[in-house]
């Protein structure tokens, strides 16, 4: 039995999320089916994190145990062949220690949220960004975002369906910058609550539009109440960017 670590890119649009679902296709199920076609083995693919329907990944990390003797490169090539035409690709595959775990060995996760700040309708980026028509003040958004960095009770920014044992998380980084007509929000932490990133972005957008001040954002955080949320940003702008491990990053 060999454990392989996978680096995965996917367009979340056609899927109900990463995890197996009874009511629609999942990224996990699609990869497991491709592995079965490659090896004839029924396997479980464990990821560094779960993503909601419509959320994308640039570098999701996962692992799988395979009995069939295969070199990592050959396994990757075969899985990718069976993944077509689904919008999922294995970018890297390598052998790892038997006790390496995509989720439990992970010491950090990073996400990016992309806003297209223009009045014109989306064409090439439809389903891959959140279009906000009125002009956003990225500098005001960034300044307000710093109030959320550090150890906080993020109940306001937590989905009511969140299964985390505690709403208290430490946010390591939250930055906002403008790049042309795009607003890029980047964030990193050991782990996140369900909908936390999307909820933070929704509130930062309210600041950028001038509907909220930084003090309003702070009041929402301190309220520890979901009803204090400005809005939950849509899933199509969110990307899982990177998972960090003690020995390497990917």
The whole-angstrom distance between residue 23's C-alpha and the CA centroid of its chain comes to: 21
Say which CATH architecture domain 2-96 belongs to. Answer: 2-Layer Sandwich (3.30)
User: Do the beta carbons of residue 30 and residue 88 sit within 8 Å?
Assistant: yes
Per-residue model confidence (pLDDT) at position 250 = 46
User: Do the beta carbons of residue 126 and residue 158 sit within 8 Å?
Assistant: no
User: Do the beta carbons of residue 106 and residue 247 sit within 8 Å?
Assistant: no
For the structural domain made of 108-244, what CATH number should be given?
A: 3.30.70.660
**pLDDT tens-place string over residues 180-218:** 999 999 999 999 999 999 999 999 999 999 999 999 999
Contacts of 107 (CB under 8 A, 6+ apart): 190, 244, 245, 246
Q: What is the DSSP string of 69-89?
A: ---HHHHHHHHHHHHTTSSEE
> pLDDT band at 248, cuts 50/70/90?
low
The pTM for the full model equals 0.95
Give the number of residues written for the chain: 250
Half-sphere exposure for 74 (CA within 13 Å, toward CB):
7
Match 């309708």 to its residue by tokens. 121
Residue 94 has pLDDT above 70, yes or no: yes
Contacts of 118 (CB under 8 A, 6+ apart): 131, 133, 181
Which of 134, 155, 171 has the alpha carbon at shortest distance from 223? 155
What residues are labeled active site?
52
Are 2-96 and 108-244 the same fold in CATH?
Answer: yes
Match 């782990």 to its residue by tokens. 191
Question: Quick one: which H or E segment has residue 61?
Answer: strand 56-66
Q: Say what percent of the chain tops pLDDT 70.
A: 99
**pLDDT tens-place string over residues 26-68:** 999 999 999 999 999 999 999 999 999 999 999 999 999 999 9
Per-residue model confidence (pLDDT) at position 17 = 93
Ordered by start, the domain boundaries in the chain are 2-96, 108-244
> pLDDT band at 163, cuts 50/70/90?
confident
Q: Say what percent of the chain tops pLDDT 90.
A: 94
Average pLDDT of the residues in 75-92? 98
> In the predicted model, what is the mean pLDDT of the chain?
96
Pairing of strands 108-116, 182-189: antiparallel
Q: Which two tokens stand for residue 204?
A: 């930062």
């Amino acid at each position: 039995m060999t454990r392989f670590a996978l680096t995965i890119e996917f367009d979340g649009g056609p899927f109900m999320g990463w995890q197996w679902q009874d009511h629609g296709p999942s990224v996990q199920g699609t990869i497991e089916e491709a592995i079965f076609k490659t090896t004839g083995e029924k396997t479980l693919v464990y990821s560094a994190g779960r993503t909601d329907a419509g959320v994308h990944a640039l570098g999701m990390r996962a692992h799988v145990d395979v009995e069939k003797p295969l070199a990592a490169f050959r396994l990757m090539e075969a899985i990718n062949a069976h993944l077509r035409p689904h919008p999922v690709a294995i970018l890297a595959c390598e052998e790892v220690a038997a006790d390496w775990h995509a989720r439990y060995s992970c010491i950090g996760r990073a996400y990016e949220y992309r806003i297209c700040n223009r009045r014109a309708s989306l064409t090439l980026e439809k389903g891959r960004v959140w279009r906000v028509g009125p002009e956003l003040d990225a500098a005001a958004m960034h300044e307000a975002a710093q109030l959320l960095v550090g150890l906080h009770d993020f109940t306001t920014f937590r989905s009511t369906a969140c299964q985390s044992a505690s709403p208290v998380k430490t946010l390591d980084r939250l930055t906002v910058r403008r790049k042309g007509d795009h607003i890029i929000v980047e964030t990193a932490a050991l782990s996140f609550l369900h909908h936390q990133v999307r909820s933070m972005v929704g509130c930062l957008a309210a600041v950028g539009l001038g509907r909220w001040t930084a003090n309003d954002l702070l009041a929402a955080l301190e309220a520890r109440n979901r009803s204090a949320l400005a809005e939950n940003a849509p899933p199509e702008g969110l990307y899982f960017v990177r998972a960090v491990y003690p020995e390497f990053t990917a």
